Amino acid sequence: MPSISLILRDQLAATPAGRLPFAQVMELALYHPEHGYYGAGPRRIGRQGDFFTSVSVGPLFGKLLAMRALQEWQALGEPEDFTIIEQGAHDGQLAEDVLNAIGDKPVRYLIVEPNPRYREAQTKRLGDRVQWAESLAALQTGPKHAFFLCNELPDAFPVHLVRWCGERWRELFVEEGGPGAFRLVTDDFSRPELAEEAKRLPHDLEPGHTLEINLAMLVWIRDLARTAFHGAIFIADYGLDAEEFFTSSRVEGTLRRYKDHRMDGNVLEDLGECDLTTHINFTRLIVEAECLGLTKSEYDLQGRVLGRMALPWLKSLEGLPPDTGLMRQFQTLTHPAFMGRSFRCLTLGKPARH
């Protein structure tokens, strides 16, 4: 039996009811320091990995984000201390692409990275071109001016699963389901925050409709809002608006596992060997952000957002021989049939916190 399954079996045996909230199992499967999918160090992303991201498409995504960050620097009056902050930097590829495109502008780059093995891989790639912080909590006293960015970060946070049982929402827990196997069972909520979040969900769905509640995303945006900097927050991820989660065609929610570019819903199999991921509920994220004093400055499909960002770059190409490699990247990032429609980008204005 693979290691995470053995660890989980022992953990289940040690709980009085023999079950754990799905979020705890997802945390174990993704972030166990030795055997979790993301625990032991950055895996390959792209053709030779399990999935593609906008970063693995090529350097254009970083180039466009560098242009957007410089816009923010100008909007803030070109302060001397301006920092690009990235979280979820993986092997440092996006940081390298952004820094290469920034050129000699007086911009610092800081990566929020809790995992020492990732930091090691990032150091190998980036040397002293970047600085690090272990968590967002370390940013409560500075930097003062910044552009925060992340690509596919909250989709990798562990989520709770809830199911509509006809009269009320209940939580899904994991328990042993025969030799080497696990199954989901419903029970009362494990945490009062889930009962609070469930009040925001509809009550007119078919029984069995299953959804994810991403409490970690709410904690994360609260931590981000408490950081000191004045500037903007850019979040790119695949996601949906609240009502898109509630259509009858999404009765099983959005939780999926990825392995070798194949996707399915068998999320309790091969734990630790597959990526587990969910779509972001952007409506919920925006509501929370606005309650925290952040302002929505742009929210749209990635294709449209990157299309607008790219205008000065596209204009600068007029009359030059076409760079087919970059144009192919642009198409992959923006075309609705590739990443232009399923991915969305949210930019939030961020006031200083003292």
Rounded to 10 degrees, the C-alpha dihedral 152/156/160/165 comes to: 60
* Minimum distance, C-beta of residue 189 to ligand SAM, in the bound complex (Å): 24
95 binds ligand SAM (CB under 6 A): no
CA 43 – CA 91 distance, rounded (Å): 8
* 150 and 141 Cβ atoms separated by less than 8 Å: no
Binding part of the chain for ligand SAM, among 8-16, 146-154, 266-274, 323-331 by CB under 6 A, reads 146-154
Which one of 50, 72, 152, 171 is in contact with ligand SAM (CB under 6 A)? 152
DSSP state for residue 68 in the 8-state scheme: H
User: Which one of 5, 24, 83, 87 is in contact with ligand SAM (CB under 6 A)?
Assistant: 87
As beta bridge partners, residue 298 has 347
Q: Say which DSSP state 26 is in.
A: H
Between 205 and 233, CB nearer to ligand SAM? 233
Which is closer to ligand SAM, CB of 169 or CB of 220?
A: 220
Q: Does 112 bind ligand SAM (CB under 6 A)?
A: yes
Which residues ranging from 24 to 83 are in contact with ligand SAM (CB under 6 A)?
A: 38, 42, 45, 53, 55-56
Distance, in Å, from the CA atom of 42 to the CA atom of 56, rounded to the nearest integer, reads 13
Smaller CB distance to ligand SAM: residue 70 or 136?
136
Q: Between residues 21 and 62, which has the closer beta carbon with respect to ligand SAM? A: 62
How many CA atoms lie less than 13 Å away from 279 in the CB half-sphere? 21
Q: Is 139 left (phi over 0), alpha (psi -120 to 50) or beta?
A: alpha
Residues 6+ apart with CB under 8 A from 250: 209, 244
Where are the extended beta strands (E) located within the chain? Answer: 19-21, 82-87, 107-112, 131-133, 145-151, 160-164, 169-176, 182-187, 210-213, 230-240, 256-259, 262-264, 275-277, 280-281, 295-301, 343-350
- For 144, the token pair is 């003062």
With CB under 6 A as the contact rule, the residue among 33, 114, 177, 293 that binds ligand SAM is 114
Figure out which of the listed residues 36, 58, 59, 88 binds ligand SAM, where binding follows CB under 6 A. Answer: 88
Stretch that binds ligand SAM, among 85-93, 102-110, 282-290, 335-343 (CB under 6 A): 85-93
Q: Which residues contact 218 (CB under 8 A, 6 or more apart)?
A: 284, 288
User: Does residue 90 bind ligand SAM (CB under 6 A)?
Assistant: yes
Residue number with CB closer to ligand SAM (30 or 107): 30
Show contacts with ligand SAM in window 155-184 (CB under 6 A): 156
Task: Return d(Cα 293, Cα 225) in angstroms, integer.
Answer: 8
Give yes or no for a contact between 347 and 298, defined as CB atoms under 8 angstroms apart.
yes
225 Rama class: left (phi>0) / alpha (psi -120 to 50) / beta? alpha
* Number of residues near ligand SAM (by CB under 6 A): 16
Taking the complex as a whole, the smallest distance from the CB of residue 345 to ligand SAM amounts, in Å, to: 13
Q: Give min distance, CB of 94 to ligand SAM, in A.
A: 6
Q: Which is nearer to ligand SAM, 113 or 288 (CB)?
A: 113
With binding defined as CB under 6 A, does residue 332 bind ligand SAM?
no
Between 90 and 279, CB nearer to ligand SAM? 90
Stretch of 152-160, 189-197, 203-211, 258-266 lying at the interface with ligand SAM (CB under 6 A) = 152-160
CB of 149 to ligand SAM, least distance (A): 9
CB of 225 closer than 8 Å to CB of 235:
no
Which span sits near ligand SAM by CB under 6 A: 20-28, 84-92, 119-127, 187-195? 84-92
Residues forming contacts to ligand SAM in the complex (CB under 6 A) are: 38, 42, 45, 53, 55-56, 87-88, 90, 112-114, 151-153, 156
